[in-house]
C-alpha cells in the first residue's frame, strides 16, 4: 500500500514520448531550365542524401547514410512559345483552329464538292418523288379500306336478301304442297 501513490508516477514517465533525432537532408541543386526548342520537359528526379538515423516507426532499427531518390515532377509538355521563332509574321496572324480557316481549294476538291452537290440534289429529288409515291399509296390504301367496308355491307345485304328469298321459296313450296280448295260444296264429289 505504500507504493500505491507511485504507480501513476511510473505510468506518467513511461508514457513520455521519445523524440527522434533530427534527420539532416542534403538537397541537390534544382535542375537547370530547359533550353529553348524543348517540346517535352523530362521528369524531375531529386536525390536526397540522408545521414544515419533511427527509424521513428521502429526504434530498434538504425539506417546507415544513403541516398533517396524522389520523383518531384512528372514529364510534361512545353506549352511556352519558343522565343526564337522561325514562324513568319504573316503565318503568325493566321488562325490556328481549322474551323476558322477556309478549306483548301484546288481542282480535285472543287470537282468533289460539285459532285457532292449533284448527289445531294439527286437525293432531294428522289426523296420528293418517294414522298409523292407514299402519299399516293396512302390514298390508295384509304380507298381500298372504304371499298372493303362497302363490300362488307353489300355482302350483308346480299345474305339478308338470300335468307328472305329462301323463306319465300319455302312458303311457296309449302303452299304448292297443300291441296287446292275447290268451290264445290263438300261431299258433292
Q: Tens digit of pLDDT for each residue in 118-132? A: 999 999 999 999 999
CA angle 32, 43, 51 (to 5 degrees): 75
Chain-wide mean pLDDT for the chain? 80
Kindly report, residue by residue over 44-54, the tens digit of the pLDDT: 888 888 889 89
Question: HEC states along 98-140?
Answer: CCCCCCCCCHHHHHHHHHHHHHHHHHHHHHHHHHHHHHHHHHH
Average pLDDT over residues 146-157: 96
Exposed/middle/buried for residue 181 (C-beta within 10 Å: 0-12, 13-18, 19+):
exposed
The residue ranges of every structural domain in the chain are 21-31+39-79, 107-169
DSSP string, 133-186: HHHHHHHHHHHHHHHHHHHHHHHHHHHHHHHHHHHHHHHHHHHHHSPPP-SSPT
Tell me the pTM.
0.32
Amino acid at each position: 500500500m505504500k507504493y500505491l501513490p507511485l504507480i501513476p508516477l511510473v505510468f506518467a514517465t513511461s508514457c513520455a514520448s521519445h523524440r527522434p533525432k533530427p534527420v539532416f537532408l542534403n538537397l541537390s541543386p534544382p535542375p537547370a531550365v530547359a533550353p529553348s526548342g524543348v517540346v517535352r520537359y523530362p521528369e524531375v528526379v531529386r536525390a536526397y542524401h540522408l545521414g544515419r538515423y533511427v527509424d521513428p516507426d521502429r526504434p530498434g532499427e538504425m539506417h546507415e547514410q544513403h541516398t533517396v531518390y524522389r520523383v518531384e515532377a512528372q514529364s510534361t509538355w512545353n506549352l511556352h512559345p519558343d522565343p526564337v521563332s522561325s514562324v513568319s509574321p504573316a503565318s503568325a496572324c493566321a488562325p490556328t483552329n481549322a474551323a476558322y480557316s477556309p478549306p483548301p481549294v484546288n481542282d480535285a476538291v472543287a470537282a468533289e464538292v460539285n459532285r457532292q452537290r449533284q448527289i445531294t440534289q439527286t437525293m432531294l429529288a428522289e426523296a420528293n418523288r418517294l414522298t409523292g409515291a407514299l402519299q399516293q399509296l396512302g390514298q390508295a390504301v384509304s380507298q381500298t379500306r372504304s371499298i372493303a367496308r362497302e363490300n362488307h355491307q353489300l355482302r350483308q345485304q346480299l345474305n339478308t336478301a338470300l335468307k328472305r328469298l329462301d323463306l319465300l321459296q319455302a312458303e311457296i313450296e309449302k303452299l304448292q304442297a297443300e291441296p287446292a280448295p275447290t268451290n264445290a260444296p263438300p261431299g258433292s264429289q
